[in-house]
Structure 1
């Protein structure tokens, strides 16, 4: 995934304070879309969702992931842990969808799904901790 590099100005104390809610809501949306994607994959494996529905849900996940990455980068945080998530999830999902829909197929690919989700959660936890550190530093300077 190629990304454009832009020159960013350092956040001010006020912008750090105001963005906290925004970052928290973006992360929440990403987590909700992750859950929806996992539910859609489960539905697909039970033949209650089509591959197109899974792909649409994945696109929503990708949009939410991109929003989070952009916001964390705006805060000058290293998003390296998130940068490959979209590619990994896309690869895993397309591999799953190439198989016949069945619970067995889903179980076969579950370790790969779990790996991507675990990587996502660990990266988000690290970034939120770093963000909160910057945010609380900004508040102390007032």
Structure 2
């Protein structure tokens, strides 16, 4: 799964994860990691929120690959997961501003966390990654499918808000609100 092409309107919202060459075990001192996270420019900017979330899921997969090659630590994978979780909340909030219920997707971060905990509980190797990556991708595919089902209600809401005026259509798509997950649910993977 690849995120849609980077949109200039989303240039303010970006994320960078740089891996350290040192690898670290769970019970060792964490290696340094440089992470920057900037939320989308507007909390109601659904296309940018979705695009950023999809980009972060790609970075998480890349970090897992590096972990399997012992080029990234468990801490770095955990940090990448935390960024996905934070952006998931930002995306839920963006949709909520358009009165779109996202509760059917609230289990995704927990499902992803469970797979990552099992994966990172083993010694890093390409074999371990080959075993767990299909499960990671299945969870991320479920997220993508869920986001796609929200696209039509989002467009309808935007059109109803701008009735009679020409409004740009959302630039993301991929070839009754209840409480969203809290930030505490995105704690570092032990």
Taking structure 1 as the reference length, the TM-score comes to 0.81
The Cα offsets for residues 22-74 of structure 1, whole Å up to 9 and x where unpaired, read as 11111111111111001000110111100000001111111000100112122
Does residue 138 (structure 1) correspond to residue 174 (structure 2)? The answer is no
TM-align CA RMSD: 1.7
Look up the match of 1:73: 96
**Going by fraction, where is helix more abundant, 1 or 2?**
1
Q: Which has the higher strand share?
A: 2
Aligned positions, number: 124
Q: Which runs of 4+ in 1 moved over 3 A?
A: none
> Within the alignment, does 1:111 sit opposite 2:125 as a pair?
no
> Can you give the 5+ residue segments of structure 2 that lack an aligned partner in the other structure?
1-41, 166-190
Report how far residue 121 of structure 1 moved: 0.3
Structure 1: segments with no counterpart, 5+ residues: 1-18
Which residue pairs with 1:53 in the alignment? 76
Shift of 1:128: 2.0
State TM-score, norm by structure 2: 0.61
Q: Which has the higher contact order (CA 8 A, sep 6+)?
A: 1
Question: Which one of the candidate residues 17, 22, 25 is aligned to 2:45?
Answer: 22
